[in-house]
Structure formats: C-alpha cells, structure tokens
Structure 1
Amino acid sequence: MTHVVIIGGGPGGYEAALVARRLGAEVTLVERDGLGGSTVLTDCVPSKTLIATSDLLHEVSRSAELGVEVPRAPRPDLAAVNDRVLRLAAAQSTDIADRVSAIGVRILKGTARLVEPHLVVADTEDGQVELPADGVLIATGAHPRVSADAQPDGERILTWEQVYGLRELPEHMIVVGSGVTGAEFASAYNGLGSEVTLVSSRAQVLPGEDPDAAALIEDVFTKRGMHVMDNSRMASTRREGDQVVVTLTDGRTVTGSHCLLALGSIPNTAGIGLEEVGVTQGDGGFIEVDKVSRTNIPGVYAAGDCTGVFMLASVAAVQGRIAMAHLLGDAVHPLDLRKVSSNIFTSPEIAAVGLGQREIEEQGLLVDTAMLPLSSNPRAKMQGVHDGFVKLYARQGTGTLIGGVVVGPRASELIHTVSVGVSASLTVDHIADAFSIYPSMSGTVGEAARRLHRQV
C-alpha cells in the first residue's frame, strides 16, 4: 500500500487526503491548527460570514426604495456577529475533520518537516513521529504580511486574522491595501456602519482585476461614503492611545480608531525542510510547481497558497486532487488557469472566469466583446439593483467563449453559466440558445451572448 504524508490540512491538504484514500493509499495528515486550515478558521469562511451580515444590513438600508419602512436604522452587535463567525468556522473545521477521519485518514495535530524526500518528521503533542512516505504533499498555506513600520497589536492595529476578536464596531476603520482582501474588508465594514478610509497605493482599487469592474466598485465605495485615497502609500502606522495614525510616504496622516493591514501574504515555507531536501522556491519563498503540482523533487508535491499559483481555496483543492491523481496513477487533468473562476466578495460582488482584458491585449487575441449593464435587467429593476454589468469575450470567427466578468449581487452564482461555457469551450450561441428564466439576473448573460452572435 502506498503511504502518502500530507503537511497541512487546508483545502489543498484535506481534499488531497480524500482523493488519496479513495484511490487506496494509506494517508497521514499533519495539521497544526485544525482541519480546513486558515481558509476555514481565519480567512475565507470567517470573512464571508462577516460579509453576509454586512450585505444584510446594506439590503435593509435600501428598503425604502422597495416600499418598506424601517422604523430606525439597524446596527450590528459586533460581539454577537464575531461570535457567530468563529462558531461557524469551528463547526466547519469539525465537519471536515469528521469527514476525513471517517474514510480512514490518520490525523496528527502538530507541525512537520521534510528530512528526506521520502521521510517526514512530525512534532506532535505526544512527541516526535517519523513518517516514511512514498509521496509527500506540502499544503502549508500562507499568513498575512506585515511591515516593520506597522506592527499589529491585535487590538487597534490588526491583520485580517485578528479582526474577529473585536467586540465593538470600529468608529473609523482605516484599511491599508486595496487588493482583494483590503477591498472586501473595506466594503464589509462600510456596510456594517463604520466610517472607512481605504488607502490604495495604486491609481485605482483592485489593480489586478478587470478595469471596468474596479472602476465601478470604486465609484460604489465613494457613493456609499467611503473615503478612497488613491496613489497613497503607507510609510508607517502607530497607535496613540485609542487612536491609530497612518503616515503616508508623502507626509500626510490619516487618523482612525482602528487599522486593518491588508498587505498581501507570505507562504508558510520556512523551517519545513525545503532547503535541506532541495525543493526549488521562487520569489518570496513560494514553492515552484508544474501543472500537476509536482516540485522539482520526485515524489514531493505542493498545493495551495504556499505555491502562489492562484491564491484561491478552490485552486488549492484542485491542486491537491491533481497531485494525488498523478502520484497514484489515476487519470489527470492538469491545472488550466485559463478556466479558473474567481470571486471578490465586495458589495456588489465581482466574478470572473477565463481570459480577461489584460491577457487578451497582451496576447494580441482578436475577440468580440459584449458588455451589458444590470440596470437594464427587469429583475434588477424589481430588486432595486443599479450597479453591475455582464461582460463576455468571444473569439472572432468561431464565437468560442474565452472569458467573462459579472459584477452584481451574487455574482459568484451568476458566473457559473459563463464558467461552464469557458470550461467546455462552448460558443456564445450555445449560451444564447440555452433557456434562462424570465425575469432573472441570469437573463443578462444570455442577452450578452446574443449580442455576440454573428450571422453565418
């Protein structure tokens, strides 16, 4: 029987464990904090639970437009909100652990390191354990980046892992960093009722995303009272009593009650034996892998945020599954980043799949583009939705769908139709000919596809 050792129990790790067991391997999984890893315990699950409360409050704030009178503006009990966040995260972790244990995976609580390519040593509560392995998967994740001039204290200066300890709603939250994490938390605290200042070092928020989507989100942020400071780079952050002062590189200062640092992530790759074994790491310490999750060392694989390939829980899970399929001789479909769908849980959400505008321009592809605002959608009008759009890209001549962007409420759900089309290399006519419900938000996806039809 093949023995697989997995270091890290996040999506990349536990999904790999499930696949390996189904393929007949003996599996040992070593996890430090709890099954689900940071995705479940401190990152994705907690943040989206917090955002769910924020979205509800935003919906209530628009009730007058739909003819509903609310006697007074509701305010969140942040202590109760965060208690729920942590309770749901813990329950999800327990569910995953039960599922993994039920199929015979051996779970060790502790840390682990590679001693040789086929030998892992785990430091557990019961002492050190040697784990010979036919194959090893490293899925150790990442942690928030901080700055020497902006050290979190867990009370007023916070990373995204620490915000769930807050018991009262911040009066004024300064969010430093306008990437996905920064934009999501800025949107969330704005919806919860905090004054929010978003410090962006770039000319526009979400600099790595679709330009039209980023422009729309920044406009929405501003309309909802957020102060967005573009082209503003943090020099330092310090606490002064119950206030936090953020100093910018141009000498300006911003003062608030709290500061959330969203400065990116650092892979958890230090001290796990990579250098000793010879595993190649790239810039920033990320593990280099190929499309089937192999490192340069035979039998050693890696998945998830520690690889820096595409820092999404869904991608980590796919990488882990692919690794075990390849190791254990099952059919393998290499990771294709051109078909990955992603979502940013701002309000409204931004979902995207396939090639985007930048990639299309860089590759010099000839495409037809259709972009329709959601404000013209009848269901959107009924629900009082004003901000959002659907954008589709199709190859000229063939009409093959190669990418799309949806901005709007529950864009994470609407993108699935586009994702199926991109994944299966369908044409826009396939999408257009499929029935959509009237009235529905998804009707705009079909209409955008019809706009791209070319007469043969």
Structure 2
Amino acid sequence: MGAVNARSSRVVILGGGPGGYEAALVAAHLGAEVTVVERTGIGGAAVLTDCVPSKTLISTADYLSDFETAADLGVHLEDDEGDEVADARADLPEVNRRVLELARAQSSDITARLGEVGVRVVEGAASLVAPGTVRVEGADGADDGRLDADVVLVATGASPRVVPTAVPDGERILTWQQIYDLRELPERLVVVGSGVTGAELAQAYLGLGSEVVLVSSRDRVLPGEDPDAAAVIEDVFRKRGMEVLGRSRMAAVERVEGGVVVRLEDGREVTGTHALLAVGSVPSTRGIGLEEVGVDLLPSGHVAVDRVSRTSVRGVYAAGDCTGVLPLASVAAMQGRIAMSHALGDAVAPLQLGVVSANIFTDPEIATVGITQKDVDEERVDAEVLMLPLSRNPRAKMLGITDGFVKLFAQKGSGAVVGGVVVAPRASELIFPVTLAVQHRLNVDQVASTFTVYPSLSGSIAEAARRLHPIA
C-alpha cells in the first residue's frame, strides 16, 4: 500500500470494544470513512460483560465494606427503633440490574459518540476474505455482504478460557461473563484462579456477603504482581474471612445436587453452591479469515503485531486482547489510536509498555507503573527502592485505612523515578502522579519538591521521593 489519503480512505474495524471504538474516533477525526462491525454491542466485552460490569459490582462491594469501617470511626447505624444494625445487605438481583443498566448506558453513550462523528455501525460478525475485503454475517448466519477497505483493524478481543473438565453451565458453574444473571447471592462461592479477575471477583462476592473459597495453583494470590502488594491483599482476604487454598490446582469442576464440587489434582474436594472459573482467556482470532489472508498468529492464537499495531499483512492492523500485548482496556484503546494514526498518515509514537499504568480493583487496590520489584531483584535494573506504609499517613488514619503502602523505584545515580506501586483505596487515582514522573523522567527531587495537600494520601508519594534523595 502506498501513501494513504485519510480523506478518501475507507476503514473497516472488526470489533467495537475499546480498541475498535477508540480507533474509529481517531479515523473519523482524520477524515476517513469508517465502519465498525460488532456482533454483541458497541463497547464489546469490556463494557458489556467484563471491565465495566465487574468494576461496578466491585464498587458496590466496596461501599458495603465502608459500613465495617464506620464503627471504628465512631459511626453507628441504627434502625427506626434505635437498635444498632449489625450488617448491611446486598440485594443481588437489584445489584446486577444496576450493573447491566450501567453497562448498557455506557454502550449507548459510546454509540452516540460514534454517530456524532459519522462512524457507521454494522451489526454482525465480520471476517476477512482478502486483506481489503470484509465479509459480514448477520445474526441468522446469512451473508450480509462485503465491505471494501483501504485499512482494516482487527479488534475482536478474547473470551473466557474453558477447560474440558470444568464446563460452565451458566447456573452453578460460571465464567466471569455469566455472573450477572445470578438471581441470588451464592451462599458458598468457589473461585478457581487467583489472577487479577479471580482475586477481584472473589473479594467482591466476599464483600457482598458470600462465603468465598479461592483456589490458587500458585504459592500466593496474584502471582504476577508485586510480591509485597500480593502479600497485603492475601492478608486482607484472610482477615476478612476468605479461605485461600494455595498450591491447589483444579482438576475438575462438577455439578452435584444443590451445588458444585471442585476436585483438586491432589485428591482433595472443595464443595460450594457455585463455582466461578477465572482461568484465563483465549483470543477471538480463529475462524475469521486471518490465517487465510496471511496474518501471522502466535502459538497462543494471538495476532502478532509491532509497536504501531501492524500485522504481517499490509493494510491490516490489530489492537486489544486479540493481540496479547497487554490485556488492558487502556492498552487496547492506545493500540487502536496508534494504528489509525499510523495507517492514515498522522504523527504517531510507537506503543511504550514501560509507561503503562495498571490497576487491580481489589480492596485495597493495587496500581503499578514502570519497572517491577522482580526487575530490581534479578538485577535487570539498578534502582533504589523505598516502601512507605500508608498506616503512617495522617489522612489514612483519618479514613481508617490500615493496609497498603507506596513504593517508588529510583534509578541509582540520576534519581529518576522509573517505577512505582501503590496499594490503597483508589490507588487507580493515586498512581497518576507516579506515571507522570515515570513517563517524563522526573527525578525524586522534582517529585519531592512539588506541593501536595496536607493531609492527603498523595503526600506519601512525595514523602517516599524525599527519602530517596541521593546522598553524595
């Protein structure tokens, strides 16, 4: 493909999730004729069945946990007769109704925005029949025609991984996309998988009032995260009554009378009323013509892309979870925006994973950016590390926060902030100043000399930077 004239270009996007709709907005802004083909609704799984619903559910559970802290702050809830209320209660059907309504509202808002900028949305399943030709299949399986494109973006996402010995039934054995159909709170929920999704939803249901057992195949929960952060979260889980089974690999999940049984590889059995499977995801890349037109797939099934989202086929780009670059909605959106800027001739910078901030929505949350503790421990980066417990922060004391910390990584010599971890309520907000420091190569003295409000949780970030001041 030669130089592309954005004003006369036709862009077809397979998938309306964050990678797809953000790409569509950029392409439309640059003057292209844009069509998005989406099967289940604009926003994709991230908005309709995954990120937005799960974080809404978690927010409800977090709100309930505030009642536990209230008594420590001197606040007591009483009914009309003056008797103290022991527990707040979650009405799961009502909670799920709000969750799904919010997800649909977000999808509608995005759809409206696409319409405002002239993006055409086509309902159906898309596949490639040639690098510049997309076939659309309707809900009934009928061929709804072909779309010609100068640029194609594949943003088809991923779906929950299912293993033959633990097949979801949507009633008692559930994936994370099926939990919003529950009409009653699980009495005893067995969560299989202690990665991000498993940890988040295990704590959410614990907060909503379920008895929760978390089955982890590794030594600790959140095995891929900062070890100090993971230790805090596991400790919180146990203190709040969750049963955590470490080094316990699931062999099978079966439906039994009145519930489920999770069989472990060592012969143990864990019973529950429901099981939630959080054992990873698989990219939605098969059966949509990618291999047939020459798009290279990795052994995992993910689309191979470079840092500007190009695939091995000219004019075909890919973004989001189908690429396996980093399964975050923010990364998918950035990949999509970069793809369109590159394809349509606008100024563009390649994707920089080293400055991506990420968050785990447990309570407290875990937010990270830049290098990791593992990078330092394995001597890949020569950095000073400073961890400051939040329990010493005056604002944390006022809010009844006892768990969490701020950790900064500073490059030896220059003092440049090269990474950070925040474990705290709303860590997703607190990580932003650290991300700014990492992206713009600020040193610890520049961070430390910046005013913070007193008292504030962000004050601990400045304090950590002050303690990292290099001594000659």
Match of 1:15 among 11, 14, 22: 22
Match of 1:113 in 2: 127
Match of 1:40 in 2: 47
| TM-score (structure 2 length as normaliser) | 0.95
Match of 1:400 among 398, 407, 416: 416
- The amino acid that maps onto 1:95 is D
| Distance of 2:45 and 2:255 partners within structure 1 | 27
| Distance of 2:43 and 2:161 partners within structure 1 | 21
Match of 1:289 in 2: 305
| Distance of 1:187 and 1:45 partners within structure 2 | 17
- The amino acid that maps onto 1:110 is G
| Distance of 2:240 and 2:336 partners within structure 1 | 40
| Distance of 1:264 and 1:390 partners within structure 2 | 29
Shift of 1:365: 1.7
Match of 2:35 among 28, 44, 53: 28
SS at match of 2:408: strand
Match of 1:74 among 88, 111, 116: 88
- The amino acid that maps onto 2:331 is V
Unaligned runs of 5+ in 1: none
Match of 1:6 in 2: 13
Q: Is 1:128–2:120 an aligned residue pair?
A: no
| Distance of 1:291 and 1:65 partners within structure 2 | 50
SS at match of 1:284: coil
Mapped contact 2:359–2:366 kept (Cα < 8 A): yes
SS at match of 1:412: helix
Shift of 1:146: 1.1
- The amino acid that maps onto 1:15 is E
Mapped contact 2:53–2:100 kept (Cα < 8 A): yes
Matches within 5 A, 1:138-157: 138-157=154-173
Matches within 5 A, 1:18-417: 18-70=25-77, 71-72=84-85, 73-124=87-138, 127-362=143-378, 364-417=380-433
Shift of 1:361: 3.7
Say how many residue pairs are matched: 456
SS at match of 2:300: helix
| Distance of 2:314 and 2:365 partners within structure 1 | 41
Shift of 1:362: 4.1
| Distance of 2:381 and 2:292 partners within structure 1 | 44
| Distance of 2:295 and 2:143 partners within structure 1 | 26
Mapped contact 1:343–1:352 kept (Cα < 8 A): yes
| TM-score (structure 1 length as normaliser) | 0.99
Distance 1:173 1:268, change over 3 A: same
Shift of 1:101: 1.1
User: CA offsets per residue over residues 166-209 of structure 1, 9 Å max, x none?
Assistant: 11111111000000000000110111111000000000000000
Segments of 4+ moved more than 4 angstroms? none
What RMSD, in angstroms, separates the aligned Cα atoms of the two structures?
Answer: 1.0
| Distance of 2:137 and 2:375 partners within structure 1 | 44
Mapped contact 2:135–2:143 kept (Cα < 8 A): no
Shift of 1:127: 4.5
| Distance of 2:342 and 2:301 partners within structure 1 | 24
Match of 2:3 in 1: none
SS at match of 2:222: coil
